[in-house]
Structure 1
């Protein structure tokens, strides 16, 4: 693309752009260098002073020395079980030097890890010493590898937790019960439904009935005295007048047995003029 194509045409410079509703031109020929309170700024003020450390750009943000070390290893596809400490330490120290010039307190923790890397590298340069059992000594990088693997595992778990929905994890949805009406509204019930419900109750009541049986002791001798007392002073008494149906069938049976016992002992006489005639009972010792 030629320089002529980038330069504005004479017609564009000659004719001003139509003002917009907010007072700014809709089309401008130059690119805005900044935005001030929402309005584009096409030229920097002549008396504007910008301190050297006013703007800082951090391309990578790390949460600690292990995070930086793991980033350098994964970025260059190094085998975490066989870390090339020389290259990793060189890159690590270059980053630490950058943050040390800006924030010495933040760089202290990173400097401690740098010292550990240098110590591990120095131990690897020395000839290994065998243990008392004759086994090979442990790799000086083993402890660092273990810490890096544990940190990476925790970092991946934290990333999975961060992908969970916020609802139910960080906050809960508020639920408020608002009573719409003060008077409860009962359902409508028809007469047929009430009748069926009543019949069902009666059916269940019949299945759960209880019968109480009581035992009543009746004396035959006592009823024999009652019969004699009834016949006392009377010439004849009809047979059915000696029985009281209101007292139940048990009393009737005992009274009949008492009359048979009195007739056997000849204390009373039972007479009948002819068949199907009334039966009379009287005392034996009374004159006929």
Structure 2
């Protein structure tokens, strides 16, 4: 519309409306009413209501729109409508129309074969319908198109829904450094060395129970915040008691009933009851 207005600068204009709202601009000047002698060519505006993805898509559309039986296609009517669409397409996009022209030629060729008397095959069987190959292609295309539509209807991440992300801030709890195995072994070696200094020649047989020493350790740690590692061992009772006590401590640690920790590397080792939040 703007091009047509630019080509008719001498057009007569109605009187200005009361609200003074311009409907267009002509050479930069506001235009407040449409010219009475404005001419718009018939082909100035074209609207395409249907968009097709190829020749098979157009052919299938014409068949389904008019409820034709796809197994018994009336080629005369379909070909006539098909060529009408191709003629419109050739005016705007000749390169794209070439694909549709190939299908149009195929339709005309099939129609001409149907007009000729059928020829029997060498074995005397009835000849195949000239439309059979076209019908197979249309049915296969329709199945693929419907499958693609069902896939497109499925919810897609980022288009139909977003992945929920929840971030929970946890309160910072003081975390003591883990006890290195070498530090624990060194502390155990020091205990054994002290136990050897308290050896005596009295021979006795003592029944030692790991479970009993586990209970003793739990009672010893009850009510204590931290207890030094060496304070839990009685070196005067000999290495046998030390071994059983140490095994009891390892068993309690494995069952997460107590914790063995230290403030920093090479610092003294401490033992406490395991903390269980409510």
- Bigger Cα Rg: 1
Range into which the TM-score falls when normalised by the shorter chain = 0.3 to 0.5
* TM-score between both structures, scaled by the size of structure 1: 0.46
